[in-house]
């Protein structure tokens, strides 16, 4: 959230941020509301001063025995009170309107962020793992076909129990997801210094607003107990879209100590997204689903350290893929594709060789985003009121928050099934995952279950 004083004093910079991020907000109206609100506050202060003077005058007139003048002063005091109450009611209306409007303003991008309109303007800054990549079958079987052939991914039964966009991982498929989660948590805990958090899955509206999901992305959320378009208040509950929401909001409305920082938390959660705005995107397989597992890394740091921490956080996300031996690339996101809340953002995209895409690498296949690594600077901290006190005698300041997926599990499963598959249809388990799968080195698959799988009547 941008401070109203910043918006008031830097309208040109805010306009540039709106244009850079492609956000349509009536800034003139916000400035108009702010101007009227400040005028009312000034008038209110004057009315309170007048009323105090009249109150003092009433006492003096009564002591002098001038009852007629005292009654006139009392009447004037009542008029001032009524005028002040009407003015304060209008000021409260404007205050609420202004606060709601400020929530619609995006975080200005960092000056070094690439300027661009959409994903075609993102800048590739790194590519890893292609020079010594393993030999692949020809053709590579896409994960959705291979997963069903091995009996480890079941899309029909997922749709049966929950609807389209859900899947069931069974047997070695389920073990692979569990292994990835445990591997990531251990890596970040033991080598990167993270503290584990196991947060609630439902989060309230205040938490969604604090990290910037609301009001902009209400349609993408799963609401508990009512329709998304029904009015909601701070206590209404939603299924979390990312662990960023509960972990960041753990410290909402708190003042941290300087000695607390930096704070590095990680959390595994299932995540739920309707993807309401993703019309026409891929529906086959587990690339884009409504429920998916993810390990999220959330950092709270001093402002002067946040950009060094951003590079460190990027390295922690990349380490997951490097340990697994999965080729990837890193993109620096342009202003138009960065997102509403970020000041600077990197995407880490793993290589999945099973489906050729127009924007895929020369080796074929496609890129799948598995981590977005972002610096929000003080944007989320102001929305959620998360501060720290540099010294006990100094004023509190807003922390900087950062997060990055460490990493999203289903798309890594896609990459493993496609990159580590063999000519005979089996899949090698990356060595770092084998201890978390009870020593399993290769996924051989399972026999199908039920008449429908075998063919009824045969």
The CA-CA-CA angle for residues 414, 416, 420, to 5°, reads 135
DSSP assigned state of 421: B
Token pair, residue 245, equals 């929401």
Q: 241: which DSSP letter?
A: S
CA atoms within 13 A on the CB side of 164: 5
Q: Strand 263-272 relative to strand 195-196: parallel, antiparallel, unpaired?
A: parallel
DSSP 258: G
CA gap 455, 458 in Å, rounded: 6
CA distance 401 to 247: 11
Q: By the 8 A CB rule, do 436 and 187 touch?
A: no
Measured distance CA(256)–CA(300) in Å, rounded: 10
Active site residues: 273, 288, 369, 372, 411
Structure tokens at 143: 């994960």
**Considering only CA atoms, which of 29, 34, 33, 1 is closest in space to residue 17?**
1
Are 403 and 271 within 8 A, CB to CB?
no
Residue that is written with structure tokens 């661009």 in the block: 116
Tokens matching residue 244? 């960023």
Q: What dihedral angle (degrees, nearest 10) is formed by the CA atoms of 424, 420, 355, 243?
A: 140
Nearest to 10 by CA among 108, 82, 157, 92: 108
Phi and psi at residue 340, to the nearest 5°: -70, -40
CB 388 within 8 A of CB 396: yes
Look up residue 207 and give its two tokens: 């938490």
Q: Is 366 helix (H, G, I), strand (E, B) or coil?
A: strand
């Amino acid at each position: 959230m941008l401070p109203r004083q910043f918006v008031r004093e830097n309208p040109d910079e805010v306009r540039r941020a709106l244009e850079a991020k492609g956000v349509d907000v009536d800034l003139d109206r916000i400035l108009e509301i702010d101007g009227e609100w400040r005028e009312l506050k000034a008038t209110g202060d004057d009315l309170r001063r007048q009323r105090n003077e009249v109150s003092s005058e009433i006492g003096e007139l009564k002591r002098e025995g001038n009852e007629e003048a005292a009654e006139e002063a009392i009447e004037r005091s009542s008029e001032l009170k009524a005028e002040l109450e009407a003015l304060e009611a209008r000021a409260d209306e404007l205050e609420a309107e202004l606060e709601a409007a400020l929530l619609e303003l995006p975080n200005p991008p960092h000056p070094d962020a690439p300027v661009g309109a959409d994903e075609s303007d993102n800048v590739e800054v790194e590519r890893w793992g292609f020079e010594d990549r393993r030999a692949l079958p020809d053709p590579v079987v896409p994960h959705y076909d291979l997963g069903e052939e091995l009996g480890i991914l079941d899309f029909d039964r997922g749709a049966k129990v929950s609807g389209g966009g859900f899947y069931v991982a069974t047997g070695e498929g389920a073990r692979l997801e569990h292994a990835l989660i445990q591997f990531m948590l251990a890596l970040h805990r033991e080598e990167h210094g993270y503290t584990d958090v196991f947060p609630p899955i439902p989060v309230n509206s205040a938490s969604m607003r604090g990290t910037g999901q609301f009001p902009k992305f209400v349609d993408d959320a799963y609401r508990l107990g009512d329709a998304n378009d029904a009015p909601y208040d701070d206590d209404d509950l939603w299924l979390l879209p990312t662990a960023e929401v509960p972990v960041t909001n753990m410290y909402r409305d708190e003042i941290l100590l300087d000695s607390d920082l930096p704070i590095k938390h990680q959390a595994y959660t299932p995540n739920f997204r309707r993807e309401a705005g993703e019309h026409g995107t891929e529906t086959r397989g587990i690339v884009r689903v409504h429920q998916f597992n993810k390990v999220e890394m959330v950092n709270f740091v001093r402002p002067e350290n946040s950009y060094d921490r951003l590079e460190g956080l990027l390295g922690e996300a990349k380490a997951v893929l490097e340990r697994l031996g999965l080729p990837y690339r890193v993109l620096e996101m342009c202003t138009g594709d960065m997102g509403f809340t970020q000041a600077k953002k990197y995407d880490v995209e793993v290589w999945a060789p099973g489906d050729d895409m127009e924007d895929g690498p020369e080796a074929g296949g496609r890129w799948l985003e598995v981590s977005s690594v972002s610096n929000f600077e003080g944007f989320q901290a102001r929305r959620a009121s998360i501060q720290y006190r540099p010294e006990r005698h100094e004023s509190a300041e807003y922390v900087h928050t950062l997060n990055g997926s460490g990493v999203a599990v289903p798309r890594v499963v896609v990459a493993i099934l496609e990159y580590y598959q063999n000519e005979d249809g089996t899949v090698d388990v990356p060595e770092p995952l084998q201890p978390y799968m009870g020593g399993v080195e290769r996924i051989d698959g399972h026999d199908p279950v039920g008449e429908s799988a075998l063919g009824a009547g045969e």
